[in-house]
A and B are shown apart, each in its own frame.
Chain A
Amino acid sequence: MNDRTGPRRPVRGTSRDTSPQEYWRRNIRYVGLLLAVWFLVSYGAGILFADPLNGIRIPGTGFPLGFWFAQQGSMYVFVALIFVYVVLMNRLDREFDVDEGDE
């Protein structure tokens, strides 16, 4: 990726890459990981594998597992994913010094 880096700005004497390209690459990686989970809980557990998962029942409840993922579980995970994204990105913004401050 050396061929596409812009001017680098080393932070506090470290040699870490803080270029906009690196910021964007990390962002894409986070988004990719989170969307993989998003896909697995909804399209995976809730749709593609719903039938086999329905053979399993959540202990102590009447929920077949595939049905539960489709009508409850996927939505809980969706909410969690957005907040994980918020935390990761806020940290990334500060690390690359592109955050909006508190003004």
Chain B
Amino acid sequence: MTITAWTFTLVALSFALYIGIAIWSRASSTSEFYVAGKGVHPVANGMATAADWMSAASFISMAGIISFLGYDGSVYLMGWTGGYVLLALLLAPYLRKFGAFTVPDFVGDRYYSQSIRKLAVVCAIFVSFTYVAGQMRGVGIVFSRFLEVDVTLGVLIGMGIVFFYAVLGGMKGITYTQVAQYCVLIFAYTVPAIFLSLMLTGTPLPQIGFGAADPETGTYLLDRLNGLHTELGFAPYTSGTKSTLDVFAITAALMVGTAGLPHVIIRFYTVPKVRDARVSAGWALVFIALLYTAAPAVAVFARTNLIETVSEQPYSEMPEWFSNWETTGLISFDDRNGDGLVQYVGPEAVDASGAPIENELTIDRDIMVLANPEIARLPNWVIGLVAAGGLAAALSTAAGLLLVVSTSISHDMLKRGLRPDITEKGELIAARVSAAVAVVIAGYLGINPPGFVAEVVAFAFGLAASSFFPVIILGVFSKRMNREGAYMGMLTGILFTAAYIVYFKFVNPAANTADNWWFGISPEGIGTVGMMINFAVALTVSRFTPPPPERIGELVEKIRVPRGAGEAHEIGA
């Protein structure tokens, strides 16, 4: 079977599975639509959280980025996993005990304020839409490359699938589809990683393989790669080029941002007990770590294979994948010295006489994972599998984000805001309608992506880090924290972070260099500073303003102990 035939078959099978699950798990009440009736088993919730969290960026882009950044890519590995420790220890159990449906629910009730609820709704919707545009784009790329359909048609098909199970099933449908999607994506990620590890090092486990030696020459793979890098004028793979402070700030922003992302947080509302919320975060991280510990190995394998396949080889003899990706514009070759060979070199490359060599090859980092099986000449079914896995990752995350948007509108804005007298049935219809509208907007953004999808991702994390994380933590760990403190903290945190990112990414992108950054902290890492400002302002303002009413103190005490889950928020509300 050809690659296209395999891809069609595997993608069609996986889609049929998702649709089947959607029909089986239709939601019939708002509780089922918002939080799957709080009846999800902690291990299943862990899997769903992992699929929810691991997006097209984790599946398609991350290993590619690491493969080009080497050690500096560690910020994504630590940043996107370390946040779960914060989530498990500081947020998940308390939010589950509070027992609401959404993040604005908690923030609004804990700080007894409609303005804070509104601010939280705006943040939640903004963060989620930012993210979802990227997911739909990922769907489009997979469809256009592997199934040779137009990007627009690819996005429309993806929208159709998400529409079906998100609108019909709500959180319940999404949860069980995500469990299936996790299985598809982890299988699709691990199989090529194991193949590659066996080929390059003879060790089946990629996590060990990338530290192992070539069975024939006895040279360690990392030494070989560092050698290639030095020879070609790139920085050594295993040591970084970013400043330590910036690496520190970016890692922290990603960790705290992860713990503050609404679509991740609401997953912990879906389990029956506080105890389940704690252990569920552990399972989520186990399932995430399966992919995240394999990713740096894939990065090393891909980098080595890529350099050895293209470097100083005749352009006329490039393999088929090379020209396939060239037609998508994601690889481009320009024979500057006219020797017919591919010079793929770093900024410091020099020839034997000491004259600089010009780089002739540009490769989009996003194609590494998708092209990897082809570069390594793996069987056709593995390539089809990777396409199905990429789609699973993108669709599962898109669905989780769309649910946040729909609950923010039907629950936070209507039920808890404009129309408190809305019936259960009316709220459910509103939830479905807003989910449907959100899918359409997301699809539009996927087909006509704003030119700055990559930039706005920094925005999503920065905002989540500088808005939700501090106010939730303070809401649980400080009884004295009041409405005024939380509001001012959130506002200054967001404004500071947004201003910094907007300035360097949109207003004056030319100035976006380490020399102009404050203390050398990049826009990707500024959420860390925004978070600290939020904490500092909130604590200061709360000392000079009236303490919260007595019932809030009682609410916080209830949140802090596990017994009686599901009752706590009715006392405060």
Contacts and interface: CB of A to CB of B under 8 A. Distances in A.
Contact of B212 (A24, A62, A72, A75): A62
Interface stretch (B12-20, B123-131, B282-290, B506-514): B282-290
B251 A42 contact: yes
Contact of B239 (A48, A67, A86): A67
B90 to A, nearest CB: 7
Which of B89, B210, B273 has the most chain A CB atoms inside 10 A of its CB?
A: B89
Contacts of B71: 50, 67, 70-71
A46 B74 contact: yes
Contacts of B113: none
A100 interface: yes
B82 A82 contact: no
Given A82-B84, A99-B562, A71 B74 contact: yes
Which of B82, B222, B244 has the most chain A CB atoms inside 10 A of its CB?
A: B82
Contacts of A54: 238-239
A99 B563 contact: yes
Interface string A21-38: 001100100010011001
Which of A31, A63, A78 has the most chain B CB atoms inside 10 A of its CB?
A: A78
B78 A46 contact: yes
A61 B213 CA distance: 7
Nearest to B71: A67
A23 B88 CA distance: 18
Nearest to A51: B239
Interface string B71-85: 101100110011011
Given A47-B251, A72-B207, A99-B275, A38 B82 contact: yes
Contacts of A23: 560-561
Given A63-B211, A68-B211, A20 B74 contact: no
A79 interface: yes
Contacts, number: 139
Interface string B203-247: 000011011110000001111000000000000001110001001
A5 interface: no
Contacts of A48: 244, 248
A66 to B, nearest CB: 8
Which of B66, B208, B223, B275 has the most chain A CB atoms inside 10 A of its CB?
A: B275
B370 to A, nearest CB: 21
B296 interface: yes
Given A62-B211, A82-B281, A100-B274, A75 B293 contact: yes
A78 B296 contact: no
A39 B81 CA distance: 13
B296 A72 contact: yes
B26 interface: no
Contacts of B84: 78, 82
B131 to A, nearest CB: 23
A93 interface: yes
Given A42-B251, A47-B251, A82-B84, A70 B275 contact: no
Contacts of A98: 561-563
Interface in A38-95: 38, 42-43, 46-48, 50-51, 54, 58, 61-64, 67-68, 70-72, 74-76, 78-79, 81-83, 85-86, 89-90, 93
B226 to A, nearest CB: 9
Contacts of A72: 207, 293, 296
Please list the 7 inter-chain residue pairs (A to B) with the smallest Cβ-Cβ separation, ordered nearest first. Answer: A62-B220, A70-B74, A61-B211, A82-B282, A62-B222, A71-B296, A63-B211
29 contacts: A20-B560, A34-B85, A35-B89, A46-B74, A48-B244, A50-B239, A51-B239, A58-B211, A61-B211, A62-B211, A62-B220, A63-B211, A64-B222, A71-B66, A71-B77, A71-B296, A72-B207, A74-B82, A75-B81, A78-B82, A79-B286, A82-B278, A85-B88, A85-B89, A85-B282, A86-B275, A86-B278, A98-B563, A100-B564
Interface of A: 20, 23-24, 27, 31, 34-35, 38, 42-43, 46-48, 50-51, 54, 58, 61-64, 67-68, 70-72, 74-76, 78-79, 81-83, 85-86, 89-90, 93, 96, 98-101
